[in-house]
Amino acid sequence: MTIAPPLTAPPPASPALDVSPLRGSTEKLSRLRKIIARRMSESLQNTAQLTTVVEIDVTKLAALRDEHKQAFVEREGVKLSFLPFFAKAAVEGLQVYPRVNSTLDLEAGTVTYPDAENLGIAVDTAQGLYVPVIADAGNRSVAEIARRVDELADRVRSGTAGPDDLAGGTFTLTNTGSRGALFDTPILNRPQSAILGTGAVVRRPMVARDASGDEVIAIRSMVYFALTYDHRIVDGADAARYLTWVKQRLEGAQFDI
């Protein structure tokens, strides 16, 4: 008996290249890009930066989001992404581990612990990177954070953000996962002592336990969180404790929506 070879799909056509008009050109740096370049260099030169990464199973959180996202957008007028959950867990963790939310003054020999968690959210715009601030984020709900993120992102992208929208941050979250990155090692936004990078949520096989406690291979929703911190004031153990707290908070998926 002759066995037919397996059917194979034709190779996909090569996608057309969308060649940038910048190729082969030279342009002047914008004022914003100069500021960003200077601040990033100063941050690396004046702090002892270290990054710690954890992997988080957000399968329960993904199910919670799917259950509520349609009603949420109808009620709040904005989409329910993972970001407001990530932000909520991050700022709650700062209340438990305030050293991650602190400001170091080495010359004065002091460390200041703010009485609020003012969360900077990195926003990618055509003009460059802006970091508008959600004031008192530690006392805001998931819905309030979602609305505020949407509002601030619209302001910076439309050029209507004011100085007050960009000032006073004590901790920053950068959601590089929104562009598909698994994780990165973000640079501190001085004088802050830490910045959290959240990666893309990816469905993949993982070792899990079934109802009987036996190990099985299951498809789970996974994400990496990378915390860069100033090692002059935040130790590796401090970072690990903070990230573990945030991990447990998100994996428990107990949020009011």
| Tally of residues, the chain | 257
Candidates 66, 230, 231, 256; catalytic one: 231
Cα 242 to Cα 142: distance, rounded to the nearest angstrom: 20
Rg of the chain (C-alpha set): 21
Cα 141 to Cα 122: distance, rounded to the nearest angstrom: 19
Our answer to whether residue 68 is catalytic in this structure is no
3-class DSSP state for residue 101? helix
pLDDT band at 127 (very low <50, low <70, confident <90, very high): confident
pLDDT digit string, tens, across residues 102-116: 999 999 999 999 999
3-class DSSP state for residue 64? helix
Which is higher by pLDDT, 32 or 139?
139
Cα 241 to Cα 38: distance, rounded to the nearest angstrom: 32
Residues 77, 135, 51, 209, Cα dihedral to 10° = -50
Cα 42 to Cα 36: distance, rounded to the nearest angstrom: 10
Q: Which pair of tokens denotes residue 196?
A: 């959290």
Neighbouring-strand partners of residue 206: 218
Cα 33 to Cα 41: distance, rounded to the nearest angstrom: 12
Q: Which pair of tokens denotes residue 244?
A: 């573990």
Q: Residue 5 pLDDT more than 80?
A: no
The full set of domain ranges for the chain reads 31-252
Phi/psi for 222 (5° steps) reads: -120, 150
pTM for the predicted model, two decimal places: 0.91
Q: Which pair of tokens denotes residue 73?
A: 């957008």
Candidates 66, 154, 164, 235; catalytic one: 235
The DSSP annotation for 151-169 comes to HHHHHHHHT---GGGGS--
Residue identified by tokens 């949407």 is: 150
pLDDT score of 14? 77
| Domain 31-252 falls under CATH 3.30.559.10 | yes
Look at 16-20, 200-204, 224-228, 239-243 and tell me which has the smallest mean pLDDT.
16-20
Q: Residue 159 pLDDT more than 60?
A: yes
